[in-house]
Amino acid sequence: MNLLTTAEQKLSDEFCSRGFLITDAENRAALDEIQSAVAKEAAQFLGIAAPESRIEFFDRIADRVSPSRLNDLRLAVINHLQAAPWFREAYFACARSLIEMLVGNELAMQRGVGFSIQLPEDEKSLLPLHSDAWSEDSPFEVVLWIPLVDVFRTKSMFILPKEHEARWRREMPDYGDRGIDAMFTDMEKDLQWLDIPYGKVLVFTHTLMHGNHVNRERTARWSMNVRFKGLFTPYSDKRLGEFFEPITIRAASRVGMTYQQPSGFAG
DSSP states of 188-207 as a string?
GGG-EEPPB-BTEEEEE-TT
Q: Stretch 44-71: mean pLDDT, rounded?
A: 96
Start-end of H helices in the chain: 6-18, 28-46, 54-59, 67-83, 87-93, 96-102, 162-171, 180-187, 251-258
Which residue did the predictor score with more confidence, 69 or 266?
Answer: 69
Q: Stretch 196-206: mean pLDDT, rounded?
A: 97
With a cut of 70, say whether residue 202 has pLDDT above it.
Answer: yes
Confidence band for 124, pLDDT divided at 50, 70 and 90: confident
Of 153, 142, 157, 129, residue with least CA distance to 223: 157
Q: Stretch 23-37: mean pLDDT, rounded?
A: 98
pLDDT at 192: 96
Considering all CA atoms of the chain, what is the largest pairwise distance in Å, rounded to the nearest integer? 75
Please compute Rg for the chain using Cα positions: 20
Q: Are strands 210-211 and 158-159 parallel, antiparallel or unpaired?
A: antiparallel
For the chain, which domains are there? 6-27+96-255 (2.60.120.620)
What is the Cα–Cα distance from 20 to 134, expressed in whole angstroms?
18
User: Cβ contacts of residue 244 below 8 Å, gap of 6+?
Assistant: 108, 109, 110, 111, 227, 229, 235, 238
